[in-house]
Amino acid sequence: VRFQERYGLFVGGEQIEPLSGEWYSTIEPATEEHLAEVATAREEDIDLAVSAARDAFENGWSTLPGSERAKYIFRIARILLERSREFAVAESLNSGKPIRESRDVDVPIAAAHFFYYAGWADKLEYAFPNRRPQPLGVAGQIIPWNFPLLMLSWKIAPAIACGNTVVLKPSHTTPLTAL
């Protein structure tokens, strides 16, 4: 696994420089070696991310049929599996957890969550009989340090399956698999 020297903010489908101009170093906990520089988001950066997420929500994602959203979510799950070794190594390097746990637990379960919610994306009416579930908007989600990729899947997969968009704030100590 090769990390980029710097990771900007991922906003509107693109990696951008932070408006704050601030960066911090993320390290490998086992050796305390530098892994990458990561953008620090401040208020103006967050406003930009929320605006982009709201635009995506209003101009397409929320009106996309569940069967179409499912295709995207399914593809995310497939990419996690196709690149599972890379994700496992990145997760272990950035969080300090054993590779066995990342490889055998975190990555496969994260992919399974995306597969699961891909299946639900076009079946929400069955979960709520006699009701017509509607997306709510932009979901702000914060990920802790201990299971960064797995908790990302727990939060993002159901939100996007329901037609919402997401602004995600990963832990400052373990941001790499989210990025």
Walk along the chain (179 residues) and give the pLDDT tens digit of each residue: 899 999 999 999 999 999 999 999 999 999 999 999 999 999 999 999 999 999 999 999 999 999 999 999 999 999 999 999 999 999 999 999 999 999 999 999 999 999 999 999 999 888 888 888 899 999 999 999 989 999 999 999 999 999 999 999 999 999 999 99
Q: Which amino acid is at 68?
A: E
pTM above 0.85, yes or no: yes
| Token digits of residue 32 | 């305390």
The span from the CA of 19 to the CA of 47, in Å, is: 10
Q: For strand 165-169 and strand 23-28, is the pairing parallel, antiparallel, or unpaired? A: unpaired
Amino acid type, 144: P
CB atoms within 10 A of CB 17: 12
Distance separating alpha carbons of residues 35 and 17, to the nearest angstrom: 18
